Chain A
Amino acid sequence: MTEPKKKRLTKVLDHLQHEDPFSKGVAFCPGCTLELLIRFIPQVLGNDLVITGTPSCSAPVLLGQNTATWHKLSYFGTLMTGAAANATGLVRYYNRKKIDNTVVCFNGDGTASDIGFGNLSGAAERNEKFIYICYDNEGYMNTGIQKSATTPFGASTTTTQVGSKLRGKNLRRTNLALQMAMHKIPYAATATLSDLDDLAKKLKKAKEMKNRGFCFLHVFAPCPTGWGLAPNMTIEACRRAVKTNYFPLWEAEDGQIAFTKTTKKPKPVSTYTELIKKFSHLTEKEQEILQSDIDYEYCLLQGLSNIVGTCQLPD
């Protein structure tokens, strides 16, 4: 009789303390990182969340059909323009009535960086006590892969196509997480699906710190269908994004920026873009432009992480 195998269980499993409230058969693409994220969050934070959702890739699953639904969470489905304002209304009422709550405003990058940015900024300025999670798949995926503010330089989308005159998006992306960190909120962080221990810790921190004010989480979530990425490579794409500093992992607690993962020798961005068809047309020159944009954002973060200071007010 052979000895039982020695278990080398990943410590991520320890974070998954709660049941997955989502039905197992839901309409996300095979390999979708958003599906992993949306199941991960309530397993870490609990099933008594109130989650707000907007028209997006998450909508067909987050929102019900007539009286039936795909999950057991309390939710509020509404328009992209007012997502953060909706969450504001909920959390203000619950806190006034001393109803225990964790409100999660769950949106894609289209809502967060484009059409819903105004009220995201407003909610952060007012330091509203909820968690805003932006899953960044770099475009409007549900409507068929259109460009958004977080779409990177050079990317091919249906509104930034590659043709004889133009070659994909000729504008650089905005750095949403850094913009939110500048709002003097208690907590802002980046995370992704390859580093789940890091993501779980950040989710738990956000849940705790939202009692003091606004918490923002920017989660990098590659889209296999929209990017031309093989479904089995989506986690690897996250990993390479971190290793190339394309998407560095950091957090800002009370304005103090610190990396949660440092890469001593970052690989060139091309080791990331080679996985993804939306970059396949890039010339060497165009890769260089993308590389310089990534390098700029990283050195900005690095500089800020060297500054010691807190935006937390004295009692």
Chain B
Amino acid sequence: MSLNKYFKTEGPWSDAKVELLCSDTGSWRSERPVVDEEKCILCGLCAIYCPIQIVKEQTDCFEADLTFCKGCGICAQECPAKAITMVSEGEFK
């Protein structure tokens, strides 16, 4: 049995340079944020309040990268211009 199959070290050391993990949290959500570009006032509040920090500035509005969005709805709730609506995932299948 090889002693160094998992750990090269004696103790419980991890190294991000070796492997950075990622879960498919995008599959958790039951609804997703949809942005009305016209209503967006480019304030960036959705970007700062998103717990995953996946909302980024695009050309004319802020938008979430849906790969990891869990559908919490904070962006929609916090938007002062009510530009974001949470829409059921069922609409997108």
Contact = CB atoms under 8 A, between A and B. Distances in A.
State if A and B touch, Cβ cutoff 8 Å. Answer: yes
Nearest to A28: B51
Interface stretch (A4-12, A86-94, A141-149): A4-12
Interface centre among A26, A27, A70, A232 (most CB of B within 10 A): A232
A35 interface: yes
A9 B72 CA distance: 23
A30 B71 contact: yes
A66 interface: yes
A65 B14 contact: yes
Contacts of A16: 48
A235 interface: yes
B40 to A, nearest CB: 8
Interface stretch (A17-25, A151-159, A172-180): A17-25
A281 interface: no
Contact of B26 (A4, A25, A71): A25
A24 B23 CA distance: 8
A8 B21 contact: no
Nearest to A239: B78
Contacts of B77: 232-233, 235-236
Given A25-B68, A30-B70, A231-B74, A5 B24 contact: no
Q: How large is the interface on A (under 10, 10 to 19, 20 to 34, 35 or more residues)?
A: 35 or more
Given A10-B45, A66-B14, A67-B6, A39 B74 contact: no
A27 B23 contact: yes
Given A39-B53, A69-B15, A234-B74, A23 B45 contact: no
Contacts of A65: 14, 21
Contacts of B65: 24
A11 to B, nearest CB: 9
A231 B22 contact: no
Contacts of A59: none
Nearest to A24: B68
Interface string B12-40: 01111011111111101100000000001
B89 interface: no
B87 interface: no
